[in-house]
Chain A
Amino acid sequence: MYDVVVIGAGPAGSAAAYHGSRLGLRVLVVDRLAFPRAKTCGDALTPRAVAAVRRFGVAPLAGIPVRGIRLVHRETMESTVETFPSWEGGSTGMLVPRETLDDMLLSRGRAAGARFEMAAARGLIRDGSRVTGIVIETPSETLRVPARCVVVAIGSANARFFQNQRRPRPFPAVGLAGRVGLRGTEDIGDYLEFYFPLLTDGRVLSAYGWVFPDGATRANVGVGVVRTARSGRILLGRLIDEFVSWLVATDDRFSHAELCSPMRAASIAGFPVLASEPGLLTVGDAAGIANPFTGEGIASALESGELAAQAISRSPEDAHRVYEESLRDRFPQVHRLRHSIASVHSQPWIVLGRGWDVILSPQSRTGRALKRSLLDVPPARTPLDLIAHRSVQDALATIRTDLKPIIGRLPALTGELVHAMMADPESDVGWCTAFASMVRGGLVCHEPFLTRDIRRVLTALELIGLVGAAHCDLPEWSNPRSSSWGRKTLSLLIADSVNVEILAMAFELSQPWRGFLTTFARQVFRRAAAGRSDKNVPADFVILDELFQAAAFVGIPNGARVYRGPVATVATRLAVLRASVLAREQFAPNACDAVCRVPAKLRTYLEEILSLAARPRMNTPRENSKPTMLPIPGPSRLPHLIT
């Protein structure tokens, strides 16, 4: 009896097979086709995917290297280039024909001990609520194959598969992508190019075109389309024709290009076919974990296959739960997108069709967040990670855990953006908590710090910071000549959804925190608006100042009230330093000898967090910017908290 039967020998299935065999499991892989076999795909491996392929123990792949992504706006021809971030030592992506890649991965799996059978899977065998095997049909016979675990790696296009056994699917496949091969091009270069927003004269809004290099004189050109009113295939062909014609007419590299391979199409994954259940794990495109922006699914396919194998090896009875948890940790969008009927329409790049200005604006936090998602940027260290004090890291971990379900409740589109914003190493999230804990850590105190109420208040402070960051994406003035629809819409969607969550949280607190939080939040936005409109004070500085004042208030225990004054001044200095980071401007803090008149231990802690905030900025400041002098704040003005 097999430990694992894998249905589908694509990247996800082969990953499960290879890693499962390496972990000592007995693995059978079935696929209805013999390998090698052709597969329509963009053929692009991101550095993340390349790293995953390396974990199959293969030498560097032979393929066309690519260094990053180039996003082009088709109407204005503006473009922005982003190089791939580094994954496990490599920051180069690769274009490898799927036929070659998939065959190699399957061979590695078989070399590791997995058995391969060319057969079509016809159904699941169940025993009660548990899946205990599958029925397969080889060319010669039909067999029942019992197994402790079944791994479904059937890809994105098999919606009718297991028809009588899958859960009702509220939405069909996300979309279609088609590609052609062109030859006679000039060197495309070594970036994957994506063209937005519209491909024709307004026929389709939610689509993108791509140009990938395919050798010195060839190009792989294609179009990805999200569901439209028309049937897929005909529209796709026309779109590709139009896109290619446009390239030939406007892009010098294509002036002598001609078709060398006909159009082939495949569906874009984005919605799961099957969720996991006892005895059954879903991996790869079938689990709908492709990149929600580009539909790129190889990296996640490989990783999910690996995770599935690990889960089965660790805990065969309970594998589906272990797997689902690790999947959610690795691919947060799984949880959000999976059960939302609107998930297809929340695909963020639909909004990009109109909201292109977000991508092109360098100051836009949302734009940075979107680019991070597009590029599959690995989680990076933030300055906060450098704080060595255990109590502070614990507090940060606690608040981050508390934030997760709240972000998870946001509507899918907003949740994606917020999640990406929070993953930005320059994000503000965590600084309030860190400051409050550092202040508390510097004072001797026997009161417990992270009580239930304090946790909620700190979480709310971080969320208010998020709303502030979203607001500061709004342009100060509208430029009639260029659209800023994206910046405005996305920023307000984020602000409004998160505000509502803050309110929900505040309304569940008991008094006096409930009143404090609502009044405080109101004060933050009021001050920021008034400061900006009246005295030209940057809004993000005001917001950060208010937040750090509140954090200081939370951090200082009642017995140490005497230190509120000096700590408040440090809070403002911290706000100045943080605001410089985000605004890429040089703010000169007014000289204030703040870090005195406090106990030595507290002084050390405060100096530490200030120096973290003053670290060299990751973004270079704007050219020719003179330092802006920021005003010295008055005495602490927090809403009166009746204790």
Chain B
Amino acid sequence: MNKRHSWVEDPLVLDQLAGAETLLVAVLGNGDVPLPFHRQALSMRSKRLRPLLVLLAARCGPESPGPMLLRAAVALELVHEATLYHDDIVDEASVRRGEPSIQATFGPLVAGLAGSELLYAAAELCVDFPAPLRRALTRAGVALSHGQTQEVAMQGYVPITEHERLRIMRLKTARLFALAAQLGVTLASAADDVVVRVTRMGMCIGMCFQLVDDLRDLVGTEVTLGRPPGADLRDGVYTLPVIYALSGPPTEERKNLIDALHSLLTNGDPRTIESAIELIRIQGGFARAAATLGDWLANARKDLSLLASSGPDDAIRSLQNLTIWLARESFLPMRDPMTYRHSYACDSSMS
């Protein structure tokens, strides 16, 4: 059993996941052997977070959903992989999950085409879903593309507000998590209020996930990230820790940080990155981001506790485990900020 899924305590869900993996192979094979450029989608190194969220959310409903459930799970993973294929092209990433990326192996053109294929493969799986779920899917797809575009359009814009960044996070990441939860719980015929609560929890978890990703980019090490930290800063993508660090009175540090950010746009000098990260820390960017993460996780846990009666214990516990993992990946204020790098270096089980 894949140790990546050790946070899932529900054996039925793990069984279903195995079924989903089989379906994924069949879908990508299209009646034949999967093509070489789909090896990344099939990779067992993936955390399969979105499919697992679909399956766990379905446990919160009274009915046992039919084959549509596995299809929904696989579809969301395919959508996620499609975005990874395309992201790696733009980022010129040579490595993904410890293996050569598709764009490095086959070139950007083939990787781009393969990514688009994955999107339509996901759509094929959902072609006979009821109309409201199809509409939810398309809306989430539109949100995804708008979020991406917005992030690109805002690159290099230092005065980006917290509101704008939250919107980008919601559109490009959290909506997909929300959709996963929504599909699962709807297919299990849950009551309306449960659907709302589960979907909201999914959105919340998605926001947390993105924030953790953003934090990791700044405080991770080359070992844990597989690349040097600060890629977002070089791209001009200013995430919440940066935005928090820049809010507040115009001190000398704030001015230095703005200068560093501007200079990083042309020249990604590692020393400038280090000093920028240090300035973010001094300005309280990380502390405040961690506090925000803590708030969001508390909300997610609150929703989960209210769902305790809706689903079997081990399903609810699995989702609780997910929030705990997300919390661990951040640094709550109690943790010594000087040692956060050290804790990252140790904690690689979920990377």
Contacts and interface: CB of A to CB of B under 8 A. Distances in A.
Nearest to B87: A492
A477 B108 contact: yes
A599 to B, nearest CB: 36
A411 B143 CA distance: 10
B266 A198 contact: yes
B221 to A, nearest CB: 24
Given A350-B156, A488-B90, A507-B138, A529 B35 contact: yes
A544 interface: no
A532 B121 CA distance: 19
Contacts of A477: 107-108
Interface string B128-170: 1000001101100110111011101111111100000000000
A522 B106 CA distance: 19
Given A203-B262, A414-B149, A533-B37, A467 B127 contact: no
A488 B153 contact: no
A514 B127 contact: yes
Interface string A387-423: 0000000000000000000000001111000000000
Interface string B170-187: 000000000000000000
Contact of B103 (A201, A353, A478, A525): A478
Contact of B123 (A346, A467, A503, A539): A503
Interface string A469-511: 0011011111000001100110111011101110110110001
B265 A472 contact: no
Interface string B92-119: 1000000000011011111011101101
A229 interface: yes
A342 B103 contact: no
A411 B142 CA distance: 10
Contact of A205 (B134, B142, B145, B236): B236
A539 B107 CA distance: 13
A228 B236 CA distance: 13
B86 interface: yes
A201 B266 contact: yes
Given A489-B152, A493-B148, A529-B37, A503 B119 contact: yes
A528 interface: yes
Contact of A522 (B35, B86, B124, B144): B124
Given A229-B258, A507-B134, A489 B90 contact: yes
B109 A504 contact: no
Contact of B267 (A202, A478, A489, A525): A202
A201 B123 CA distance: 46
B263 A202 contact: yes
Contacts of A503: 119-120, 123, 137-138, 141
Interface in B42-89: 86, 89
B348 interface: no
B116 A507 contact: no
Interface residues on B, range: 35 or more
A351 interface: yes
A507 B137 contact: yes
A39 interface: no
A230 to B, nearest CB: 9
B6 interface: no
Contact of A533 (B92, B110, B153, B154): B110
Given A353-B156, A471-B109, A500-B141, A202 B149 contact: no
A354 interface: yes
Nearest to B120: A522
Given A497-B145, A529-B35, A539 B124 contact: no
A492 B87 CA distance: 9
Interface in A224-267: 227-229
A202 B262 contact: yes
A330 interface: no
A198 B265 CA distance: 10
A482 to B, nearest CB: 12
Contact of A478 (B107, B121, B152): B107
B30 A506 contact: no
A577 B149 CA distance: 34
A633 to B, nearest CB: 18
Contacts of B264: 202
Given A488-B90, A532-B110, A532-B113, A202 B265 contact: yes
Contact of A228 (B92, B110, B158, B267): B158
B249 interface: no
B142 A504 contact: yes
B173 to A, nearest CB: 15
A80 interface: no
A500 B265 contact: no
Nearest to B126: A507
B266 A492 contact: no
Nearest to B154: A345
5 closest Cβ contacts across the A-B interface? A522-B120, A202-B266, A529-B113, A411-B149, A205-B156
Interface of A: 198, 201-206, 227-229, 342, 345-346, 350-351, 353-354, 411-414, 467, 471-472, 474-478, 484-485, 488-489, 491-493, 495-497, 499-501, 503-504, 506-507, 511, 514-515, 518-519, 521-522, 525-526, 528-530, 532-533, 539
8 contacts: A202-B267, A413-B149, A471-B109, A476-B109, A488-B89, A500-B144, A500-B145, A529-B37
Given A488-B108, A499-B119, A514-B127, 13 more contacts: A198-B265, A201-B263, A202-B267, A345-B150, A354-B156, A467-B116, A478-B103, A491-B112, A497-B145, A503-B120, A503-B141, A507-B123, A507-B126
